[in-house]
Amino acid sequence: MGQTIIEKIIAHNSKADSVKPGDIVTVNVDRVMLDDIMIPFIVDKFHEMGFTKVWDPDKVVLIYDHLVPASQQDDTRHYRVGDAFVKECALTHVHRSDGICHQLMTEAGYVKPGDVVFGTDSHTTTYGCVGAFSTGIGYTEMAAILGTGNLWVKVPETIRVEIEGTLPESVMSKDVILRLIGDLGADGATYRALEFTGTAIDEMSVASRMTIANMAIEAGAKCALFSPDEKTAKYCQTSLDGFQKSLRGDEDAHYLQVITYQAEDFVPVMACPSQVDKIRKVSELEGTVIDQVFIGSCTNGRLEDLQAAAKVLEGKTVAPFVKLIVTPASRKVYEEALACGALQTLLKAGAIITHPGCGLCCGRTGGILCDGERVVATNNRNFLGRMGTSKVEIYLASPAVAAACAAAGKITARI
């Protein structure tokens, strides 16, 4: 019997001839990501376990992104603990406000196709965009990896998602993943791998695939996987070897479920307050008054996202009494958006451009909202209290839809 992508990666990593769903396998970790929120807890557990050194400092990446700049007094404790751990264990891959962890892990070349990667953030599923098995873990598991270099995993079942055709001009990959989450439900892919294929997927940029892989966790998925191709190789600045080229689901592989879509059938959609699987067409929400728009996050803060927003806002201005906050996903994205003129267009339209980082997405610095306010945002979660008080209404949308809403001062499908 053939194998799915996740089965191939785990078998190759563990040097097994094959694996099947449900098998418990110890994997050798290729890279780990520690974020600033979790670092104090990781360090405490690391020492509690009796470890005195990291198994391989070169495979550890520490990223300060959620808590920069500090917005609460306790934030600086995370900096102090993190910096002390860097010195203690001679870590060399440290990013201080260079951007969002999930953007940097692939952008900076830390993750390659076929790798096994763990991070202390649920959206670590993002790296599946380049064909890596990546998933989020807790601080106890991370401490164990830091000391040993390995971790046991259960091989997940796979749901195959096939999308054929060409997406309409008004539709972005954010609309695709929101539609899928709505169809599956917030728990419909729990501890399962989502494997994406089809001509529409082939046409997508790596950045668009990142958006889909990023939000796979919102359906409960353990990971999301795309077959590496020439776009992947160029993005990762590498040449694909034989194993990496083989990372595609076999025709005779066993899938728990196969979901098929025709790309032309997709339309712009939104996730409505306060569930990420409460999906409605944007046209059905037309006219809903808004107070703020946020374009950014590890879901949609990349160059193509900012360019899509700038294209919509060219020659327009943000509606009166509406705040438009734009947060590039990294310093590199910031510089590229500046060089191509996208940021200038957004500034002329009235946008507030912030430093790269997580910011408003995780309810920290940069525009939290108050009771009764309504925001259209491009991030990945619209839970109660996510971006301010529990009485803030959060609608999730693509960058193009979000920009159109900013200009209209209300939800609109007229992109």
Give this prediction's pTM: 0.97
pLDDT at 335: 98
Per residue, the 3-state secondary structure of 61-112, as one string, reads: EEEECCCCCCCCCCHHHHHHHHHHHHHHHCCCEEEECCECHHHHHHHCCCCC
Q: Which amino acid is at 195?
A: E
Asked if 36 and 64 touch (Cβ cutoff 8 Å), the reply is: yes
Q: Report the C-alpha gap between 415 and 409 in whole angstroms.
A: 13
* Max Cα–Cα distance, the chain, nearest Å: 62
Q: What is the pLDDT of residue 71?
A: 84
How far apart (Å, rounded) are the C-alpha atoms in residues 25 and 34?
23
Q: What is the DSSP letter of 121?
A: S
| Per-residue confidence in pLDDT tens, the chain, 415 aa | 899 999 999 999 999 999 999 999 999 999 999 999 999 999 999 999 999 999 999 999 999 999 998 888 889 999 999 999 999 999 999 999 999 999 999 999 999 999 999 999 999 999 999 999 999 999 999 999 999 999 999 999 999 999 999 999 999 999 999 999 999 999 999 999 999 999 999 999 999 999 999 999 999 999 999 999 999 999 999 999 999 999 999 999 999 999 999 999 999 999 999 999 999 999 999 999 999 999 999 999 999 999 999 999 999 999 999 999 999 999 999 999 999 999 999 999 999 999 999 988 888 777 899 999 999 999 999 999 999 999 999 999 999 999 999 999 999 999 8
End-to-end CA distance of the chain: 47
Q: Is 413 helix (H, G, I), strand (E, B) or coil?
A: coil
Q: Residue with structure tokens 């055709």?
A: 165
Q: Which uninterrupted H or E stretch holds 193?
A: strand 192-197
- DSSP bridge partners of 32: 60, 118
Asked if the peptide bond before residue 69 counts as cis, ω within 30 degrees of 0, the response is yes
d(CA 402, CA 376): 6
Is the distance from CB of 310 to CB of 406 less than 8 angstroms? Answer: no
pLDDT at 156: 98
How confident is the model at residue 364, as a pLDDT? Answer: 77
Can you list the domains of the chain with their CATH numbers? Answer: 5-263 (3.30.499.10), 271-408 (3.30.499.10)
pLDDT at 363: 83
Residue 184 DSSP SS3: helix
Predicted local distance difference test score (pLDDT) of residue 380: 97
The predicted pLDDT at position 300 comes to 98
136 vs 142: CA distance, rounded Å = 10
Residue 151's DSSP bridge partners are 27
pLDDT of residue 70: 86
Burial string for 342-351 (b: 16+ CB within 10 Å, else e) reads bbebbeebbb
Q: Say if residues 253 and 383 touch (Cβ distance below 8 Å).
A: no
Strand, coil or helix: what is 365?
coil
